[in-house]
Structure 1
């Protein structure tokens, strides 16, 4: 069984944890720095260029956005971007408070996609999220976006390096290359998501 990701529809937005929808079913959240390509990745996954907002001004979206897949029991969650230099200290504190509460308390959260620009992976923010995933045994996929910006050799080298770093930390951490522009990696991403939202499916190594 595979979920139909092109059926994704906007459900609701939450400015804080108490405004999140009913905590039932299963959901996977997408996190990442504001300029890592998170919205573009979600749009490529769902084949809907308007599903998640993309902006020339990173850090604009400050809400948790929930999307349903066929039914309310399976959801994708777009977490606010983090780490953009122009986001002020109060916004950063709000992010840590509200997103931290979501990550710690949300019972239906089954996995996390950590979006990283393949040219600038494993930032301080990324390490913070990875540490949390190790501590809580939460399945995490590092999605190395903008792979089309590098030649095949350097892109593969970066992927292998990041993947090895993650899997030395915990077996439930993995990484894959992704290009929203070329739609590369979409099928591998859907397999991983199905594994978290439905049942465990062994990941397919990229060539």
Structure 2
């Protein structure tokens, strides 16, 4: 039973991380752009995955310790996180209904590895949304799983690694597929479902 619970919590971490990361944004477009151009892909992907691992660990353990010691703070963050997740889900549904979304990178001039590394770090660490998604929301969700939060953290990190690896190294093969608005409509529907489910789970932990 313990092993079964651990697996489910791992999958919950993976699904929640994917749901938060997959939405089109500056970081994803940056990774996709490097993947399509075949430039410094491994470096860019490694930075994104390592950054997420650090932020997830900080949320799961640093924030988790604070939440255990302060139940009122824990409850407040649960409500904030639930509203954020549901708002995220509503936005995903709106994109699905609106349609027309696609991920098409620009064609920038050739950049050195140093420029690619610097740009990746800036896009990743100076983006306020990453702290809400990765530290606050995932940290609070992990804390709701109690003793299984390590499995949740590992699942979330695995989700990040899976997504960025596929996005960076699979970009060229996936380019025609990613250019189809209907694909993004289906993806947004899936994201919305994950976000609404995560919100209910988070609210139920109060």
Is TM-score (shorter-chain normalized) higher than 0.5? no
Higher strand share: 1
**TM-score under structure 1 length normalisation:** 0.26
Answer 1 or 2: which has greater helix percent: 2
**Higher alpha-carbon Rg:** 2
- Higher-RCO chain (CA-CA 8 Å, sequence separation at least 6): 2
